[in-house]
Amino acid sequence: MSVKLDDKDRAILSLIQEDSQLTAKQIAKKINTPLTTVFAKIKRMEEQGIIQNYRAIVDAKKLGVGTSAFILASVSYTSKVDGAPVSQRTVAEEIAKFAEVQEVHIITGDYDLLIKLRAESVDTVGKFVVDKLRLITGLEKTLTCMVFETVKETTKINVMGKMQS
């Protein structure tokens, strides 16, 4: 369900996405809006779930987990052991429990899941796939795509209107 946002809401969201440490006073000054209005708008957007959380974005390389991989995975919809049904969502939820996994998406196409992984090295990614991922009940096959270089990675959502072409 889409929520109606006015120009001030969009401006606030844009600023917060850029730097969540900005104070309400700094935001009010940047968008030329009374401080009480900024407080009220932020509070309303938090209550509506538009603003879900505030987080630090860390440098994975500096933390020793600079190797990224995307893994495509297929789910077998019946258990090979007893023929019981296997839920795509359940498999996705099991994968999401691993600390190395940053994202799990249920997708369409030749594969059922898209997994984003951060690890120390290519070897660590391989060990994760072989020793953890492929042991999940209902997982049929995987295709691992190593990231050579990241050109763009962001958590920002365009809130200022239509996408630029």
CATH number of 7-47: 1.10.10.10
**Whole-structure pTM value:** 0.86
Report how far apart, in Å, the C-alpha atoms of 156 and of each of 19, 33, 130, 150 are.
11, 23, 33, 16
Please provide the size of the chain in residues. 165
Q: Which pLDDT does position 164 carry in this prediction? A: 45
Q: Which pLDDT does position 69 carry in this prediction? A: 98
Predicted confidence band of residue 163 (pLDDT cuts 50, 70, 90): very low
At 86-131, the pLDDT tens digits run 899 999 999 999 999 999 999 999 999 999 999 999 999 999 999 9
At 123-147, the pLDDT tens digits run 999 999 999 999 998 999 999 999 9
Q: Hey, where are the domains in the chain?
A: 7-47, 67-146
pLDDT at 165 over 70: no
Predicted confidence band of residue 3 (pLDDT cuts 50, 70, 90): confident
Question: What fold is seen in the domain 67-146?
Answer: Alpha-Beta Plaits (3.30.70)
At 31-88, the pLDDT tens digits run 999 999 999 999 999 999 999 999 989 999 999 999 999 999 999 988 777 888 889 9
CATH topology of 7-47 equal to that of 67-146? no
